Chain A
Amino acid sequence: MEVEKEESEEIPSTSSNPEEDPGPSQARVETESDDEDIEIPSILDSITQQQIDEFRPFHERYFEKKYCTRFTTDTVNLDTCVRIHTNKISLIYLSEKHSVIQNQQRLQSIDFQVSKKVNRLKNAMFGKGKRGAQLLQPDSILCHMETVDGARYPVHACVYGKLLEINSRVIKEPNFLLDDLNEGFLAIILPDLRRHEENVKSLKSVEEYNT
């Protein structure tokens, strides 16, 4: 018993020659196209001299520089520099006023085992939301720096958020943290958006830090 379908889901082809089908059904064009005539406007002319003059390097371009001083004591300076990207992702660096740098000390190693259960290098996360990433509070410890003369300095997270990454170049060479204060970040943190304002307020601006 034949029962015809009420509604056809198939897309009917109404092209004129379905057999010889080099491509889309439109009548054929000559192979010579207008490509050769397409003009490419100059890239230099597309920006202004002002833009060139005001150009800043990457680590300054998208980041706002702030400082965290709350863990510094009378005896030791543990200031960190927090660079906040326009998308709010925060990078933790040592501040230029940090004791280790001021004293020109050298690091022997960095210990990322911050507690019995937590190792900052074993941070597994999943998906866009970075589920499973280690949660951080401002006083959470990211690592302990160990100098050649046996001193041990903690580095704090300074913000509420999730740990995304430890700088692989620092893992490889701990002193990179001291030697390059632009590229030598320690950690990348995805801030807790609900507490972002709180994070930012707790940090000092460049002017405040230097007066």
Chain B
Amino acid sequence: MTETDSQDTKGIVFNFLIELGCCKRCALRFVGDSNTNYDNPTDDVKKLTRKDLGQNSNDENVFKKSKPNPCIICLDLLQDTTLQTMILNPELEKVLEYDSDTFVNYVSLPKAVLIREHSMEICVKEKFPQFFKDRNVIALNRAWSLSIQNKLAQRLEKKYDKNSYLQIQFNTSYVLDKEESLVMLLLEDKSRKHSIQHDPLSCKNVTSSLQTINSELFKQKVSIPPATPTKALDVEQVFYKHDHVFIAGRYCKYARNMFQTPWSGDDIQVEISSVQEKIFDHIENSFSCSAMVFSSSGREDFDVRTLGRGRPFFIKICDPKRTKVSFEKFRQIEQAVKHTKVVEVRDLQFIDRRYLSNIKEGEQFKKKTYRALCIVDKPENLTAYIDKINNISAVTLQQKTPLRVYHRRSSDIRERQIYSLKAKVINGKKNLLELDMITQAGTYIKEFVHGDLGRTTPSLCEIVGGYIDIIALDVLDIHLDFPPSINHKVKNHQTVNY
């Protein structure tokens, strides 16, 4: 086929669709190419109506005839008036509050529209088989997006980016949607019955049904081409949100009377602060978000401090209006938290969500370093105890569920490794010793020291052959290199690198 022939056929198909009752953009979807300007299709339409044969070839553009009925496919979704209504939605003002430079827009289509589209596809393929042999029709929502993108970009003062985290969802409805789509229930074949059972008329189910449905069966129940509609679709609410972003860091806890996350036990006052709250207080404003969710690599007891580089954590920031948080700003947040004196955070940074599994994965293989302050029964045995401890290289423990958590954990025996032990005296204290150890994650340290009435074995008491107990415990390190450490000397310009 020559190009002119092809162009003529395009014109024929185009006018065929217009005559049937399609709007100009819908008709373009069937004949257009990658250069079609859906935003302003005037020129494309002119080209197609000029060269058509057997049609009224005077300048009066076909589509300017007053159209009493909505487009038989899109129900006027792709008409200028509808697009205008969507652009002028006052809700969009609020989208300007987001500092994201980009946006992406979606539309929900009534199921009736999907059915009509399918019907029209069957119709044109039968009428113009050669033309549609290798041709793809542009999907409705894609054409809609192309039609409205530029104007939306202008209104929102942002750029369109299909990967944008700022998602704007336009919704539509159609009064006759239910009636027109009931036919899908008649068409479903038995094998699909189960999957569609609980919501046969959802958009998703209709779409997948249409993909596999037998055309002959379809034609029996649905008119080809689609019947002329009397009502157009209605524009409903627009919803917008910024997808979650994640920040990660490490925290230190310097207080011996603080939970990690807010806890309301019936006998504990709610005034006791938590690590999470202390951190949240200082990041809330920076992100202007709807919610934050805290997650960390394990946690320490109420009375245990976390020192050293601290415990890795990440925070999910939901629907942030502000995302341009600079390197300096993160450092400021760290300083602000430091002022609380009880919590400190470091290495605060954005983190891509695909790295988050690091923090929870392989929990039982992680190692932790602890320091315990221990008290002994007989000060005269202190040196002997210390020697006995230092003579041990490693220990394998069998730990029954500790009594202190037995009310809320199942009965079990856990095998855990202690990789190294080192004890030393403390100057000026005859009955105390300092014990450093590296253990497997999940080891109950306190129970290892005092033995939990024989339920953790071997215990330090057994090892030293006397009574030794733990007065205070500090976590010195969690052996996990996440997130990457921030070097303050090298400034990283991490603006929107999430």
Contacts and interface: CB of A to CB of B under 8 A. Distances in A.
B137 A2 contact: yes
B497 A29 contact: no
B487 interface: yes
A210 interface: no
Given A15-B497, A164-B411, A59 B142 contact: no
Contacts, number: 166
B296 to A, nearest CB: 17
Interface stretch (A85-93, A110-118, A140-148): A85-93
A23 B358 CA distance: 11
Contacts of B484: 23-24, 26, 29
B280 interface: no
Interface string A6-20: 111001111110000
Nearest to A46: B472
Contacts of A165: 400, 411
Interface stretch (B4-12, B52-60, B185-193, B303-311): B303-311
Contacts of B1: none
B497 A26 contact: yes
Given A44-B426, A125-B411, A27 B453 contact: no
B203 to A, nearest CB: 8
A120 to B, nearest CB: 15
Contact of A89 (B308, B403, B488): B403
Interface in A115-147: 125-128, 130
Given A29-B486, A33-B485, A87 B136 contact: no
A57 interface: yes
Interface residues of A, number: 58
A89 B484 CA distance: 43
Given A26-B497, A46-B256, A89-B406, A55 B471 contact: yes
A1 B121 contact: yes
A26 B136 contact: no
Given A46-B305, A89-B407, A32 B432 contact: no
B106 A6 contact: yes
A38 B485 CA distance: 13
A35 B485 contact: yes
B352 A24 contact: yes
Interface in A89-113: 89, 91
B478 to A, nearest CB: 13
Contacts of A46: 256, 305, 472, 474
Interface residues of B, number: 79
A33 B163 CA distance: 34
Given A62-B404, A130-B410, A4 B142 contact: yes
A44 B371 CA distance: 11
A169 B350 contact: no
18 contacts: A3-B139, A12-B163, A14-B163, A16-B497, A24-B352, A25-B352, A26-B350, A27-B497, A33-B486, A34-B346, A41-B254, A41-B307, A43-B474, A44-B434, A57-B469, A125-B410, A164-B411, A168-B454
Contacts of A211: none
A39 to B, nearest CB: 9
B469 A55 contact: yes
Given A58-B453, A62-B404, A190-B406, A25 B497 contact: yes
B492 interface: yes
Interface in B289-311: 305, 307-309
B141 A27 contact: no
Nearest to B136: A2
Contact of B469 (A24, A25, A58, A88): A58
A198 interface: no
Contact of A87 (B162, B207, B406): B406
B94 interface: no
B498 interface: yes
A183 interface: yes
B67 interface: no
B454 A169 contact: yes
Given A23-B355, A46-B474, A47-B471, 11 more contacts: A1-B121, A15-B497, A24-B355, A24-B484, A29-B485, A40-B307, A44-B429, A44-B434, A85-B404, A164-B406, A169-B454
A51 interface: yes
B308 A40 contact: yes
B483 interface: yes
Contacts of B227: none
A142 to B, nearest CB: 17
A180 to B, nearest CB: 9
Nearest to B252: A38
A121 to B, nearest CB: 14
Contact of B476 (A16, A40, A167): A40
B489 interface: yes
B467 interface: yes
B333 to A, nearest CB: 16
A14 B432 contact: no
A6 B355 CA distance: 27
A188 interface: yes
